[in-house]
Amino acid sequence: MKKSTLFVLLAVVALALVAWVGCTTKAAVEEPAEEITAELNAFSAKWAGSAHADASSYAFNHWNTEDPKEIPTYCAKCHSTTGFRDYLGADGSEAGKVDAPGKVMDPINCAACHNDAADKLDAATLGNGKQLTGLGKSAICATCHSGLGSSKDVTDAVKGVAEDDVMPDQEMMADHYLAAAATMAGADGGMGFQYPGKSYVGTFKHAEPVNSCTECHDPHSLHTQKIPGSDANLCSTCHSDVKSYQDYKKISLAKVDYDGDGTVESTYDEIEGMKAILVKALAGYSTAKSGATFGFNPMAYPYAFIDTNGDGTISEEEAAYMNQFKAFTPRMLKAAYNLMFVTKDPAAYIHNARYALQLMYDSIENLSEFSGVSTKGLVRP
């Protein structure tokens, strides 16, 4: 049993004993309990303020109106502690699969990550079935932040359809949300839609010690780690322009004008620039081939809408479910999948900037024959 599991178990036992007034002598439990309780309180406080602890989040309440009120087995792994423990086999059920529906309002608590099965975990499976190995403690994170569905589903959906034929009622496809492990793995995971004949970067080898989820993220607060023994942000060791989280988007190391707007901006801004060009390319292509103009609003489900007035933006009125864009051709479905892939990991610019840029560049290039948007001036990393 690992130290982490031991701590949690010891604390639970110790606290239970303390509460069990009269049946034990104070001296037997008080000393270890105090020490451990102090440490545990610190971890618990950090966790309590995190998104994982937020029982009111939509991610843990999406199924509340279902009858029965539970999370289907297919979704439970990442949206409940019961489902995650079931997946790990920590509840005594078969490991590697969810056997029972999960509970709603059951956020990611201590028992999800601290059990023997979680301690032993070293690999995670991505949404396309590919396994990432040798992940250490970050395997826990990668198991949920791995995507649901993949570009393989796109390939299957377009089988037998000519590249520029409209697929009736076809909705945009994506790999779900916050799939940071899929971004980080790049071509080693293959979760983006990778165009044949092109080569893609693999796992982002950043620098020591910022190569894994838990090296950068405090596993409890989820915020960026501090420099050990100091209160300074870990990133500031190497990126002198970073003082706090507001500054990540200013980091600029590559010094390349990827989006071809004539200025070398931060990695974040270059990616945002490339994204805007991809949206424009999809709009241009769809106007030529689909009979409707594609528009994108990353804040409003289902994100793809018809830009009815063709002004290049999706207004609140246009972002209506009934106005969903459903005139995808295979060529468009692939490019739109990549747009979603880089958008739904808002930290793609940190997790694997080059992979994100390559996918977008190739998507723009593939649409260019009909979109009126060329890759002239753009740089493929």
Residue 170: strand, helix, or coil: strand
Among 14, 52, 90, 104, binds ligand HEC (CB under 6 A): 52
- Least gap, CB of 99 to ligand HEC (angstroms): 14
C-alpha distances in angstroms, 212 versus 56, 203, 225, 244, 372? Answer: 29, 10, 12, 20, 40
Instruction: Tell me the site size for Ca ion, rule CB under 5 A.
Output: 12
DSSP 8-state secondary structure symbol assigned to residue 224: B
> Closer to ligand HEC at the Cβ: 331 or 344?
344
Beta strand residue intervals within the chain, DSSP E: 124-125, 131-132, 294-296, 304-306
Binding of Ca ion by 272 (CB under 5 A): no
The correct pick among 31, 34, 35, 39 for binding ligand HEC (CB under 6 A) is 39
Asked whether position 102 contacts ligand HEC by CB under 6 A, the answer is no
Rounded to the nearest whole angstrom, what is the least distance from the CB of residue 166 to ligand HEC in the complex? Answer: 27
Question: Judging by beta carbons within 10 Å of its beta carbon (0-12, 13-18, 19+), is residue 311 exposed, middle or buried?
Answer: exposed
Q: Which does 14 bind (CB under 5 to 8 A by kind): Ca ion, ligand HEC, none?
A: none
| 113-152 residues near ligand HEC, rule: CB under 6 A | 113-114, 137-138, 140-146, 148
Question: Using the rule CB under 5 A, which residue among 265, 345, 362, 365 binds Ca ion?
Answer: 265
Minimal CA–CA distance to 183: which of 370, 359, 362?
A: 359
Q: What is the spatial distance between Cα 143 and Cα 146, in angstroms, rounded to a whole number?
A: 6
Contact status: 106 vs Ca ion (CB under 5 A): no
Q: Which residues contact 161 (CB under 8 A, 6 or more apart)?
A: 167, 329, 330
Site for ligand HEC in 220-259 (CB under 6 A): 220, 222, 224, 234-235, 237-239, 245, 248, 251, 253-254
The 3-class SS string of 38-66 reads HHHHHHHHHHHCCHHHCCCCHHHCCCCCC
Residue 162 CB, shortest distance to Ca ion, in Å, is 29
**According to CB under 6 A, which one of 10, 201, 347, 379 is a site residue for ligand HEC?**
347
At its nearest, how many Å lie between ligand HEC and the CB of residue 304? 15
Nearer to ligand HEC, 121 or 283 (CB): 121
> Degrees (nearest 5) of the Cα angle 115, 128, 145?
40
Query: With respect to ligand HEC, which residue has the nearer C-beta, 239 or 326?
Result: 239
Q: How far is the CB of 256 from ligand HEC (least distance, A)?
A: 8
> Residue 290 Cβ, how far from ligand HEC at the closest point, in Å?
26
Which of 14, 33, 40, 282 binds ligand HEC (CB under 6 A)? It is: 40
Q: What is the CA radius of gyration of the chain?
A: 23
Q: Of the ranges 18-26, 54-62, 307-315, 371-379, which one interacts with ligand HEC (CB under 6 A)?
A: 54-62
Q: Is the distance from CB of 167 to CB of 329 less than 8 angstroms?
A: yes
Per DSSP, 126 falls in state -
Q: Contact letters (x/-) for Ca ion, 303-342, by CB under 5 A?
A: ----x-x-x-------------------------------
Long-range CB contact pairs, 87-90, < 8 A, 24+ = 87/143, 88/115, 88/117, 88/118, 88/121, 89/117, 90/115, 90/116, 90/117, 90/118
The sign of the dihedral angle between the CA atoms of 111, 114, 117, 123 is positive
Closer Cβ to ligand HEC, 109 or 375, answer by number: 109
Question: By CB under 5 A, which span of 11-19, 91-99, 138-146, 368-376 interacts with Ca ion?
Answer: 91-99
43 binds ligand HEC (CB under 6 A): yes
Could you give phi then psi for residue 355, rounded to 5 degrees? -65, -45
Taking the complex as a whole, the smallest distance from the CB of residue 158 to ligand HEC amounts, in Å, to 22
Decide if 118 contacts 108 (C-beta within 8 A): no
Under the binding rule (CB under 6 A), the answer on residue 206 touching ligand HEC is: yes
Min dist CB 35 to ligand HEC, Å, is 11
